[in-house]
A and B are shown apart, each in its own frame.
Chain A
Amino acid sequence: MAVIVVGAGPAGTRAAARLVEAGLRPILLDEGSRQGGQIYRRQPENFTRPPAALYGSEAGKATALHRDFAALRPHIDYRPETLAWGARPGELLTLHGETATALRYDALILATGATDRVMPVPGWTLPGAYTLGAAQIALKAQACAIGRRPVFFGTGPLLYLVAWQYRKAGVEVAAVLDTSPFAARLRALPLLAARPGVLLAGLRYTAALLRAGVRVESGITPLAVEGEGGRVAAFRWRDRRGREQALATDAVGMGYGLRSETQLADLLKCRFAFDPVARQWLPELDAEGRSSVPGVYLAGDGALVRGADAAELAGRLAACALLRDAGHPVDPLETAHLRAGLRGMARFRRGLETAFPWPGAQAAALPDATIICRCEAVTAGDIRHAAAALDAPEVNRAKQLMRPGMGRCQGRVCGLAAAEVLAAARGVPVRAAGRLRGAAPVKPLPVATRMPEETP
């Protein structure tokens, strides 16, 4: 039986391990050069920082995942630096360097992870403006900071984690500015209590930042990243009392939680549904990770953003579902145990979305000149023009007429915000604005790409 797992983060690694336990030899595709995914991203081979320095409180989990992968490696067909960029029935098309390969599969587990959820603000495309995820990768992989005195803004646990990691690495953090009101976090406490350990860790980061004298505010509204000489020079915001504030800074890190990378599921024609908690369209899954397409399973943040611990469970659970569907014996206790573990994670996730909500409503207030789609330089005003004068009822139509989401990233960065701007302009719920249809290639494909042989 040919099984492909896409993504070698926590979900993909645990899925592959479970398949190996059943005697299969899956193919594990990963875009990264080293296994670990984003959260447990490894430093380059010749870097020597210890796990505790890299992963902090999560060092134990990171080390375990890396160690288990090393044991797994002889039993799988591991293909790093390989992009799954297209799909046709029963086959994935991959790219390694400039060589494409068609890989046949009987079953597929997509563990494609997530990227930062971005809400544009005037000036967010200036050099020196990063997403929180990128700021973290710079530090984790390369031991580089995005600036000497960065401002971090947005919302979500990553906001505090990244700021704390920067502070711990000796960087002077100018401010940590959260768009969610403090009251939302109090409201979310009962849900967040589903995972007391994680809740406490989060509180500790905030406390450590405050102890270090970092300016921490909540309930802010970002106004602009301001530039000088073509790069970030200041950040302006309105504080929770409505007063305008500004800070000089040479870099900003911004982000509003994560969005699932769902393009492959889309290319495979999985059915999507609107998730009102995440305010985005996600592949429809059953409790064990089965999509609407037989033989296609999803796990980890690429299916539903619940974090690394949930990803490990969901990866294993999706593999169990696959195995059972293929006629392998699977102990029902094992799946029951995994499902029980995930229930607490789901509760916690609702807590996080309550505590740190995506500020979709900000989109309505963005000035017309704000760039939404940075690849194609499409502004909020352009999208409003598509919505009103050109009568585009949903995002694909707006894309056809005014190009948001038509560039290199194919809307992966701007898609959610573009939908919010369009929905606000038409006065409809964001669900009615639809979602950008996916198309191959998932990421840019060199024209020099050749496919030497097609697998029969």
Chain B
Amino acid sequence: MTPEANRADVLIIGGGLMGAATAFFLRRHGLSAILIERDLVGQAATNASFGNIRRQGRFLPQLPLANRSRALWGQLGALLGEDAEFLASGHIRVAFEEAEAAKLEAYAAQARPYGLELEMIRGPAMRERFPFLSPAALMVSHSPQDGHANPRLAAPAFARAARRAGARVVERAPVLGITRDGVDFVVETRGAGSFRAPVVQVSAGAWGRAFARELGEDVPLTARSPQMGVTEPMPYRIPPVMGLASSRPGEGVYLRQVKRGNIVFGGGRRCPADLEGQRALLDPANTLRQLPFLAQLLPPMARLRVIRTWSGVEGYIGDDLPVMGASARLPGLFYAFGFCGHGFQLGPGVGASMADLIATGDAGVPLEPFSIARFAGGFPAAMAEGAHLE
């Protein structure tokens, strides 16, 4: 028998940013929710995140969701009582070659109908606006309303707010299995007993594939460990997040300066991850490979020192798009996982849209491109293997 406290309208498996935000927004619909987390909220992909609140460069049909999420980031203080250090300080992609500049211009033209206005800035105007840029920089694509936030704070903040709003957050409770019993799903955990609800959302990041498979739906997901790092602090001078626009493998590094002065960076090569051991694998040599490109993107960085590197376990889907929306097989089952290293910005929007979808049947933004149904006919084995190391 499942105790009454372990029954709810919705069970959410996985307490990353997606799950925590969904729990929070479900409460605003008046639905009861239990968030079940294997470890502590926001430990795996969320904790590995760089902290980018970036819309430019995204898959265009994802922009409505990203726009919704961007608006929510701006309201975080009002919603949660804390802002997770969100700064709408702008985001620039820096091109060093005409071919890359042309790609940025083409993207800007395509993004405009989605309501994302990007400014292409070159020459003296660019240098005046962004004096810290390398003399070799050719053009920047500037997204003025984007910026960055602290991923270590965001998921716990959502979980605490969800708890205050009446959701249950169960930590250190690994899920052993999900079964169907009549109209209910029964979720067995190690340490916290079993839970029951007519609706389940799987937002278990890189571990989402195992749960989906158990429920009869496979997706081509590979686990990867991104390479993140941070320097010692220097005076705060670099408001926008910066990314190097390059299509060559390993060159696409990005960085942001936090207000306390440190420069957080990521990009370049990724390592495999150990799903069973639940840990990211890191190759310190990948940090060394990032350094020349970081110094190219922001020359003053060459005088700083790296004080820490880290990673986390991220789920990458073969077509570089997440799995989001209703199951194609079981009523009451929903997915939001596999955000391919670009989920942090989407987090609040994913939570709000999934809660809307679960509560009303309408997510409010188009989620069709992310449906798990796209893999219903199977997929080539190669799609789930070996990719996403760059």
Contact = CB atoms under 8 A, between A and B. Distances in A.
B306 A397 contact: no
Contacts of A360: none
Interface in A420-456: 439-441, 444-451, 454
A407 B307 contact: yes
A410 interface: yes
A444 B307 contact: yes
6 contacts: A441-B309, A444-B305, A446-B304, A448-B302, A450-B292, A451-B285
A441 B307 contact: yes
B302 A102 contact: no
Nearest to A438: B308
B142 to A, nearest CB: 25
A439 B282 CA distance: 9
Interface in B87-120: none
Interface residue tally on B, bucketed by range:
20 to 34
Interface in A274-313: none
Interface stretch (A85-93, A112-120, A341-349): A85-93
Contacts of B302: 447-448
A85 B303 CA distance: 18
A447 B303 contact: yes
Closest 3 CB pairs of A and B: A86-B284, A444-B305, A400-B152
Contact of A393 (B40, B285, B304): B40
Contacts of A439: 282, 308-310
Interface residue tally on A, bucketed by range:
20 to 34
A102 B42 CA distance: 33
B253 to A, nearest CB: 11
B232 A93 contact: no
Contact of B232 (A102, A393, A401, A444): A444
A110 to B, nearest CB: 16
B32 interface: no
B218 to A, nearest CB: 31
A440 B309 contact: yes
Interface string B260-274: 100000000000000
Contacts of A445: 287, 305-306
A171 interface: no
A400 B154 CA distance: 11
A437 to B, nearest CB: 9
Given A444-B305, A448-B302, A450-B292, 18 more contacts: A86-B285, A88-B283, A391-B160, A400-B47, A400-B152, A401-B153, A407-B232, A408-B307, A410-B308, A439-B308, A440-B309, A441-B284, A444-B232, A446-B304, A447-B304, A447-B305, A448-B303, A450-B291
B278 to A, nearest CB: 13
Contacts of B287: 86, 440-441, 445
Contacts of B156: 390, 400-401
A159 interface: no
Contacts of B306: 441, 444-447
Contacts of B153: 400-401
A422 B283 CA distance: 32
B295 interface: yes
Which one of A85, A439, A441, A447 has the highest number of Cβ atoms from chain B below 10 Å of its Cβ? A447
B231 interface: yes
A447 B310 contact: no
A441 B290 CA distance: 14
B284 A85 contact: yes
Nearest to B301: A447
B283 A408 contact: no
A449 B285 contact: no
Nearest to B260: A376
A80 to B, nearest CB: 20
B183 interface: no
B40 A397 contact: yes
B237 to A, nearest CB: 16
B1 interface: no
A406 interface: yes
Contacts of A444: 232, 305-307
Contacts of A410: 307-308
A406 B309 CA distance: 11
A28 to B, nearest CB: 21
A446 B304 CA distance: 6
A288 B320 CA distance: 50
A395 interface: no
A445 B156 CA distance: 31
A447 B285 CA distance: 13
A122 B301 CA distance: 34
Interface string B291-326: 110110000011111111110000000000000000
B292 to A, nearest CB: 7
Given A408-B232, A447-B294, A447-B295, A87 B284 contact: yes
Contacts of B303: 447-448
B288 interface: yes
A283 to B, nearest CB: 18
B36 to A, nearest CB: 17
Which one of B153, B260, B284, B285 has the highest number of Cβ atoms from chain A below 10 Å of its Cβ? B284
Contact of A447 (B260, B283, B291, B308): B291
Nearest to B42: A400
A100 interface: yes
Which one of B232, B301, B307, B309 has the highest number of Cβ atoms from chain A below 10 Å of its Cβ? B307
A85 B306 CA distance: 11
Interface in A393-414: 393, 397, 400-401, 406-408, 410
